[in-house]
Amino acid sequence: MSLDRIKAGLRAQRIETPSWAYANSGTRFKVFPQPGVPRDPFEKVADAAVVHRLTGIAPTVSLHIPWDLVDDWTKLREFAQEQSVALGAINANVFQDEDYKLGSVTHPDPRVRRKATDHLLDCVDVMDATGSQDIKLWFSDGTNYPGQDDMRSRQDRLAEALAEVYRRLGGDQRMLLEYKLFEPAFYATDVPDWGTAYAHCLELGPKAQVVIDTGHHAPGTNIEFIVAFLLRQRKLGAFDFNSRFYADDDLMAGAADPFQLFRIMYEIVRGGALDPAYGITFMLDQCHNIEAKIPAILRSVLNIQEATAKALLVDRDVLGAAQQSGDVLAANAALMDAFNTDVRPMLAQLRADDGRDPDPIAAYHRSGYFERISADRTGGVQAGWGA
């Protein structure tokens, strides 16, 4: 690909940051609060806008309901607009009410299922208000012990709830269905793998698509294969990027295995899916438990951008010829040649050309923003996973 086309690809790239990554988070052992953490959705949006201003490729912010509920959606929407960002996907939460101890839409009790499904429908209302196109569904539903509930009946209940929400979607709205191997359910989750999400989406229809959260797989899973396969089936709707060494660690994207991130982005490029017009939403879903929030999100956005630049650098003619001729080492070398290239100078130049600071993280530290929010955001309750 010519450098111009590479730069065009990079300029078109869009990454969505999640409102909750700006808030406090932790493990079951401890949440360590940090200074300057937002206390409401407006402050989260303000932080997201900083990330966009510095990187130029993070123009939207995902919301999580009810954590980000506000009285006046128009006000939040306009506030975002003023900050030059927009509200992105609506993430439903059916895992924190006492009623959901044994499940939400798959719960054996129809009353609980009704309540959960109603929340999902409410989220579509929010979408109407915010202009968001996507409802993103992750279910903590599952069981901790063999026999605890009937796995197959839970699928029936899941299908029923999804169908009801699907019918409620507007013409240009989508349902994005996430899967996860385990946690918080420890024996069986109701949507454990991409196959399950895919089968449900297929039955629902074209507006239902699969979300790949890069931290939600069994050890050894080849994620880029799933990317390639779902692109072929036209059923990949979104990513939740993060990285992991063990489980759903929710570390910064690209931090644990930058080569894997590159391979994923290569499949995206190869499948023609990098362009926003293709329709994939590239989100982060991370927890910055011990590191500073905004710089960690900047780092994650840049890591994805660097992986993308390397993916765009792959000489696909050379690669294709080596593949076709069965030259294993030459084909591998064609890929590695791109990965081993240091793309940071090119990206710095790209930013400079676009009037941005070539080093977004250094610019952030120089900006005084952190000192300002640390000083200003002192009263009230810091946002976290619980609020």
Residues binding a copy of itself: number (CB under 8 A) = 103
Shorter beta-carbon distance to a copy of itself: residue 6 or 86 = 6
Site string for a copy of itself, 229-248 (x = CB under 8 A): x-xxx----------xxxx-
Query: Does an H or E element contain 239, and which?
Result: strand 236-241
Distances (CA, A) of 306 to 1, 70, 258, 262: 16, 35, 9, 8
Neighbours of 216 (CB within 10 A): 27
Residues 19-78 interacting with a copy of itself (rule: CB under 8 A): 25-30, 32-33
Q: Token digits for 198?
A: 């895919």
Q: Identify whether the C-beta of residue 180 lies closer than 8 Å to the C-beta of residue 206.
A: no
Residues 358-377 interacting with a copy of itself (rule: CB under 8 A): 361
Among 94, 228, 269, 301, the residue binding a copy of itself under the rule CB under 8 A is 228
**Read out DSSP for 241-253?**
E-B-SSSS--B-T
Among 16, 40, 149, 178, the residue binding a copy of itself under the rule CB under 8 A is 149
Query: Can you give the length of the chain in residues?
Result: 387
Which residues, including other chains, have CB under 8 Å from residue 222's CB and lie 6 or more apart?
none
Among 158, 160, 180, smallest CA distance to 107 is for: 158
As measured in angstroms, the least distance from the Cβ of 343 to a copy of itself is: 8
Q: 106: which DSSP letter?
A: T
Among 289, 305, 308, 382, the residue binding a copy of itself under the rule CB under 8 A is 289
Among 2, 146, 172, 379, the residue binding a copy of itself under the rule CB under 8 A is 146
Q: 367: which DSSP letter?
A: H
Residues 81-100 interacting with a copy of itself (rule: CB under 8 A): 95-96, 98, 100
Shorter beta-carbon distance to a copy of itself: residue 222 or 378 = 222
Residues 335-354 interacting with a copy of itself (rule: CB under 8 A): 335-336, 339-342, 344
Q: Token digits for 3?
A: 């450098």
As measured in angstroms, the least distance from the Cβ of 290 to a copy of itself is: 5
Q: Identify whether the C-beta of residue 316 lies closer than 8 Å to the C-beta of residue 48.
A: no
331 binds a copy of itself (CB under 8 A): yes
Among 14, 39, 270, 356, the residue binding a copy of itself under the rule CB under 8 A is 270
